[in-house]
Copies of this chain bind each other. A is one copy, B any other.
Amino acid sequence: MPINNALAIIKRGVDELLIEQELIDKLKTGKPLRVKAGFDPTAPDLHLGHTVLLNKLRQFQDLGHQVLFLIGDFTGMIGDPTGKSATRPPLTAEQVKENAKSYSEQVFKILKPEQTEVVFNSAWLNDLGATGMIKLAASQTVARMLERDDFSKRYKGNQPIAIHEFLYPLLQGYDSVALKADVELGGTDQKFNLLMGRELQKQAGQPQQCVLTMPLLEGLDGVNKMSKSLGNYVGVAEPANTIFSKIMSVSDELMWRYINLLSFESLDTIEQWKRNVENGANPRDIKVGFAQEIVTRFHSRAAAEEALNDFNLRAKGGIPEDVPAVAIKLESGIIGIAQLLKQAGLAPSTSEAYRAIEQGGVRIDGEKISDKGLKLGAGVIVAQVGKRKFARITLA
């Protein structure tokens, strides 16, 4: 394939590519490039947000390049060194191993195993020692570090920055040195850290990696970045029906964003879809096609068909097109079904809600609910009481 075509594929959907000419030169060598991307070992539940990056890695593989799937287990085993964050407990080596296995099962739905090297940065960072850490720290200045957007804002806003936060970008950069990466991919929020890899490679006398940032995918709410903790995600390991109905729940506007970042259809095809909708086609049909593409990717064509049928059946069950949206704040991470119905305005009281459940008149996402003790966590659901009362509820 001519370099220009390869470059067009690489650049599709990318936020920024630094430095394009260097990438062209690397591509010209004809050698398989070492393409690095780092993943957090604490959260092996991949969602569509992660797949924006994974898809790009896959495109590199399709062009013949090698993916270095880096699991950041070194800092994962430290956890939150301030001890303040309950969401970042230190992982044991055993947990890292399990999480890595879980990652592999998920990513190889997208990546080609034979062109993927799963690597753990503890392999070289354990040997770094305090001495290596000090030498690494000596390579950069405080002022340079405070150039990073979030550090700069926090420093100016008198928000504390713990000193170890200055060390993490250095470790990430050092990973690129250890791996001799040719390209590193990350979200737009990672740009500073990705560039640190370039600097440290230069100091180490290595060719500098190219840096490629991908946009961050919005969650189902269309506002926040997709994340498990916000509950606004579509997990790649979720059941086909769930993936399908979650995608069907996004707004028509957000749908185009998802299609741009997640669909493997050609840009021409997508442009055609947009024109069709402008000319009066129903965006719902596009959404169905896209939801089927995604379900097929993570399950199978058959599962996608089944999910569509199921979805249509439930739709016939009477969920109207325009369901009022309600947001409920989870005080303790979960909420009981009766409380939920009351707060969503679907039942006048919790006792009325229980009665409705007993009478078989309550459905969540079209499924009849019989368990009065049911608790729900973060997510987006459609709740129904009786024939006519509906709400699309965001629990967060």
Contacts and interface: CB of A to CB of B under 8 A. Distances in A.
A1 interface: no
Interface stretch (A136-144, A335-343, A382-390): A136-144
Interface in A80-120: 81-82
Interface in A123-171: 125-126, 128-135, 137-143, 145-146, 151, 155, 158, 160-167, 170-171
A158 B143 contact: yes
A25 to B, nearest CB: 30
A137 B162 contact: yes
Interface string A52-78: 000000000000000000000011011
A140 B161 CA distance: 8
A329 B301 CA distance: 84
Contact of A81 (B74, B138, B162, B171): B138
Contact of A138 (B125, B131, B162): B162
Given A125-B130, A134-B81, A140 B158 contact: no
Contact of A141 (B125, B145, B163): B163
A163 B166 contact: yes
Contacts of A155: 142-143
B164 A166 contact: no
B161 A170 contact: no
Given A125-B130, A130-B129, A143-B155, A138 B163 contact: yes
B143 A162 contact: no
Contacts of A137: 81, 162-164, 166-167
A77 B158 CA distance: 36
Contact of A82 (B128, B138, B166, B171): B138
Contact of A164 (B82, B134, B158, B160): B134
Given A78-B134, A133-B133, A135-B81, A163 B143 contact: no
Contacts of A160: 141-143
Given A130-B128, A130-B130, A143-B158, A135 B163 contact: no
A129 B130 CA distance: 4
A135 B170 contact: no
A355 to B, nearest CB: 53
A203 to B, nearest CB: 10
Interface in A159-187: 160-167, 170-171
Contacts of A74: 130-131
A142 to B, nearest CB: 4
8 contacts: A75-B134, A129-B129, A133-B134, A134-B164, A137-B164, A143-B158, A145-B163, A163-B166
Interface of A: 74-75, 77-78, 81-82, 125-126, 128-135, 137-143, 145-146, 151, 155, 158, 160-167, 170-171
4 closest A-B pairs (Cβ-Cβ)? A81-B138, A137-B164, A137-B163, A138-B164
Given A82-B138, A163-B166, 6 more contacts: A77-B131, A78-B131, A137-B166, A137-B167, A139-B163, A143-B155
